[in-house]
Amino acid sequence: MTPIVRLALEEDIGSGDVTTRACVPEGQLARGYFVARESLVVAGLDLLAEIYGQPLELCKRDGDRCADGDILARIAAPARLLLERERVALNFLQRLSGVATLARQFADAVAGTGCKVLDTRKTTPGMRALEKAAAAAGGVTNHRMGLYDAVLIKNNHIAAAGGVRAAIERTRASGLPIEIEVRTEAELEEALAAGADHLLLDNLTPAQAADWVHRIAARAKVELSGGITLDNARAYAESGADYVSSGAITHSARAMDISFRLEEDR
C-alpha cells in the first residue's frame, strides 16, 4: 500500500468505524458501485484495488469521458469493509477526476494549434504524483515532477546568481536542458545569447506573447504562463508558443460528483 493511501485510511478510520461496527453484522456481504453523477473525465480508478485490498471490476479507465449515470467500478466484499473505506475512495476519485476533467478542458481549448498544455508544481502536498497522473490522463503534458528532475531558473534565482547569463552558465554543469524565466526584452536577448533551451514568458498579453514569439524565431522553446485560463488559453496558444502552463489544473480543480451505492448481497 502506498504511503498516501495508508495515511488517508488511518486518518479516516482511526481505531475503527464505530457506526459500521455497531449496525452492520460482521459477516454481512455486499456489492458496491461507483457512479458518475455528472459528465466528467475519470481518474484514480487504479487506487480502488489498493484502498480495498480486494479484486474489483473496473468499468472505465483513467482518462475516459463519462456521462451522468455511468458506472465506473463494481466491487463485492464484506459490507463493513466497503462502508469504512467508502469516503477515502470517493475523496481520491472525486479529487483526481476533477483534475482530469479540467485538464481535458484545457487540452480541448488549444486543440489544433500545435501548442501543448503543461501542468505545474502547484499541487496538493503529498498528492503530486497522483494529481500529475490525473492531469496526464486528461490530456495535458506533465512538466517537472519536482526541483530534482529539471532546471527552471526563475526571477529569484537570477537575482541570487547575479544575472541571466551567470545563472545559465552556472547551471550548464547539471547537463539538463535549461529553462529560464525572462521578464524584460533585455533579459530575453541575454538568455538567447547565453544559449537557453527553453524560455518562460510570464504575464504577457496574447498580443505581447505573439510579438515575443516572433522575435525569438524558434531559437528556443517558448512557454507562456501567468493568467492562463480556459477562456484565454486558445488566444495564448495561437501566439505560436510551444507551451502554455496553468497551475489551475491542479490547484483549482473542483471535486467531481461521484457517488457510491451499496446493496446487500443475499
Q: What residues are labeled active site?
A: 87, 122, 154, 181, 202
Do the Cβ atoms of 32 and 81 come closer than 8 Å?
no
Rounded Cα distance between 231 and 229, Å, is 5
30 vs 263: CA distance, rounded Å: 6
DSSP string, the chain: --HHHHHHHHHHHTT--HHHHHHS-TT-EEEEEEEESSSEE---TTHHHHHH-S--EESS-TT-EE-TT-EEEEEEEEHHHHHHTHHHHHHHHHHHHHHHHHHHHHHHHTTTSSPEEE--S---TT-HHHHHHHHHHTTPBP--SSTTSSEEE-HHHHHHHTSHHHHHHHHGGG-S-EEEEE-SHHHHHHHHHTT-SEEEEES--HHHHHHHHHHHTTSSEEEEESS--TTTHHHHHTTT-SEEE-THHHHSPPPP-EEEEEEE--
Short-list 247, 249, 244, CA closest to 114: 244
Are 1 and 48 in contact by the 8 Å Cβ rule? The answer is no
Cα–Cα distance between 202 and 182 in angstroms, integer? 7
